Amino acid sequence: MKVRFWGVRGAFAMSGREFLRYGGNTPCVELVTDDGQRLAIDLGTGATELAKSLMGTELGKGKGELHVLLSHTHLDHIQGLPFFTPFFLEGNHISIHGVDPAGTSLEATLQNQLAPHYSPLGGLENLGAHVSVETFQPGHRLVLGPFKISTAPVPHATMWTTSFRIEADRKVVTFLSDVEYPDPLAPDPAAVALAMGADLLIHDAMHPDEEYDLRRGWGHSPVSAAITVAEAAMVKRLALFHHSPDATDDQIDRVVALAQARTKIPLFAAAEGAYLDV
């Protein structure tokens, strides 16, 4: 299995010279099995770049299928949806999987994003592709083609986001973004179980530890929380993810160096760019 980060930035897309090495797009991650089957996680602005790459596949001919997992529907995780070109080609089948937000449905939320006030698309029914929105209860398991997925709800300020443990090709990738544990330095049992033994853990690390006190309660993790889960779950590799919009490339370099000095778990900061072997 390979993984590619198309968007690694939290909250807000950042353009400019200081953000070129790690990238300024908001969250979008692609997983590809050895035989070329794909899964996308979240549709932040990174999805507009993923879309360009997918146009070279069957999805570019209107003959493709794709499953998309949504961790939640905060804007930075869906703002690329109206510009995800595979949606516009008739014949494509794209299914979006997620949990209903409190008090509403996932489908109503995405419809609202495309409502005529906000988008000329007007609604999901106007997308050329066949788009289905499929919801599940947090904690349920999903099988999407070759991907076997366990899910768990994790706390994100006033709400819950969905985290994923994804198995394919006998490898495991765990996606734990937009999470703030009640005690960031105590290993959260649900998170640890989801990440146990993973080949790659992608974890929210929006705040450098020294800035965390100012941002407590905002729903994101300090770098140490990511390391705590990674160590308790004995993962093989940790990707720090969901970088603060204000973190420049040089600042992220420093965060990584400090984090590496603190743990024996191999770790790096997720960056837009090449396919990585899991």
Q: Under the criterion CB under 8 A, does residue 60 sit at the interface with another protein?
A: no
Cα–Cα distance, 184 to 56 (Å, whole number): 42
Among 2, 6, 25, 68, binds another protein (CB under 8 A): 25
* 23 contributes a contact to another protein by CB under 8 A: yes
Nearer to another protein (CB atom), residue 169 or residue 253: 253
Q: Does 92 bind another protein (CB under 8 A)?
A: no
CB of 45 to another protein, least distance (A): 6
157 binds another protein (CB under 8 A): yes
Give the phi and the psi of residue 30 in degrees, each rounded to 5.
Answer: -115, 135
Q: How far is the CB of 259 from another protein (least distance, A)?
A: 24
Structural element, H or E, at residue 223: helix 223-232
Output the DSSP codes for 11-70: SS---SGGGTTT--PPPEEEEE-TTS-EEEE--STHHHHHHHHHTTSGGGGT--EEEEE-
Please tell me the total number of residues recorded for the chain in this structure: 278
Please count the residues of this chain forming the interface with another protein, following the rule CB under 8 A: 46
- Please report whether residue 53 would count as binding another protein according to CB under 8 A: no
String of contacts with another protein for each residue 63-82, x by CB under 8 A: ----------xxx---xx-x
Rounded Cα–Cα distance for residues 278 and 260 (Å): 19
**Whole-angstrom distance, CA of residue 85 vs CA of residue 52:** 7
Name which of 12 and 136 has its Cβ closer to another protein.
12
Q: Does residue number 10 form part of the binding site for another protein (CB under 8 A)?
A: no
Q: Which of 53, 104, 216, 234 binds another protein (CB under 8 A)?
A: 104
Q: How many CB atoms lie within 10 A of CB 186?
A: 11
